[in-house]
Chain A
Amino acid sequence: MPLDQSFVGRTYPPTPPYEVGREKIREFAEAIGDANPVYRDPDAARAYGHPDVIAPPTFGIVLSMTAGRQVIADPELGLDYTRVVHGEQRFTITRPIRAGDRLTVIVTVENIRSAAGNDMITTRGDVTTVDGEPVFTAYSTLVARGTAGG
C-alpha cells in the first residue's frame, strides 16, 4: 500500500525537552567504541573550549529518531515498520551537543516516494536548545522493503 502523500510538508510541534546527561554521552561513546576523553572527562572537553563533556557527532540520532517516530509510527501514514531499514542519513552540525543541553526537535516530512517496489520517507529534524539556539539538523530516509507493490 502506498504511503499517504498528504504527509509531505507536515511539521510537528516541538518535542518535550530532552536533557543531555554526561552518563548518556559516555554510554553512547562506549557503544560506538570511541575512547576519546572529550566524551567522558569535563576537563578534557574544557581543553577544547567546551563548558562540559560533549557528544560524538552522531549522538543526535538519539533525539532525531525518537522525534521521527511521531511520523513513522502514525498508522495513517501506512508505513510497515517491520520492513523498514535505514536508507540515507545526513547531519549538519551547528555546534556539538554537550552535557546539560536541553534540546527540542521540530520534525518536518520532507519527501515520500516509491522506487523499485520500496516505499521511502524522508524526515527532517531541526534540533535547538529550549532557548532557540540551533544545534543540528538531521535528515533521515527510511526504506520499507518491498511494500510499494512493485
Chain B
Amino acid sequence: MPGSAKPRYDDVEVGSELPGQTFPVHRVNLVMYAGASGDFNPIHLDDEFARSVDLPSKILHGLWTMAQIARVHGEAAGDPLALKSLSVQFRGLGVPEKEITITSKPRGDGEFDTEAVQDGNKLVRRGKAVLRI
C-alpha cells in the first residue's frame, strides 16, 4: 500500500507531533482540481481576474489543501477511510509553485490537531481530524 513507510499514528505518543509532510503544488494542479471538483471560480484559474478582486494572484483551492490533510491522516491510520470527520478553517491564501507542509498532533482517542503552512503562511488553522480507531 502507498503510505506504508509514512508515520503511523500508533507509533506517535499523545502530544508529540507527526513529522510534517510536504506536498508540491503546481499551476496545473489548480486546473486539474477545478475540473475534478467542479469549482471553476476564476480566482483559482485566472491571474488577471484574481487581481481585479484584490487577490495577489490566482489562489489555490482550499479544498485541495484539505484533501492533503485528509490523506495524511488516512495514511497515518494505515487506512485511507479511517477518517470519521475533518474540520478546517482556511486563513492564508495558497499559491501555486510553493510546497505545502501538513503538521498533525495526536490528542488521544483518535483526535488530531492539524495545520497547513506554505512559506511561513498558515493556510489552514484549527484543523481537527477524528479517526476511527
Contacts and interface: CB of A to CB of B under 8 A. Distances in A.
A31 B33 contact: yes
Contacts, number: 106
A37 B85 CA distance: 22
Interface string A17-38: 0000000100110111111111
Nearest to B36: A31
Interface stretch (A4-12, A78-86, A104-112): A78-86
Interface string A37-61: 1110000000010000010111001
B25 to A, nearest CB: 9
Given A28-B37, A30-B36, A54-B81, A89 B29 contact: no
A32 B3 contact: no
A70 interface: no
Interface stretch (B7-15, B86-94, B107-115): B86-94
Contacts of A54: 81
B130 to A, nearest CB: 9
B115 to A, nearest CB: 14
Contacts of B36: 24, 27-28, 30-32, 62
A41 to B, nearest CB: 12
Contacts of B79: 48
Contacts of B81: 38, 48, 54, 57, 96
Interface of B: 1-3, 23, 29, 32-33, 35-39, 41, 43, 53-54, 59, 61-64, 66-68, 70-71, 74, 79-81, 83-90, 93
Given A34-B67, A91-B86, A92-B85, 14 more contacts: A32-B33, A32-B36, A32-B67, A33-B23, A38-B80, A48-B79, A56-B67, A56-B71, A57-B81, A61-B39, A87-B89, A87-B90, A91-B85, A93-B85
Query: Which 3 A/B pairs are nearest by Cβ-Cβ distance?
Result: A90-B87, A31-B36, A31-B32
24 contacts: A28-B36, A31-B29, A31-B64, A32-B67, A33-B29, A38-B80, A38-B81, A39-B80, A54-B81, A57-B83, A57-B86, A58-B70, A61-B39, A62-B36, A83-B53, A85-B43, A86-B61, A86-B90, A89-B87, A90-B85, A90-B86, A92-B85, A93-B84, A139-B87
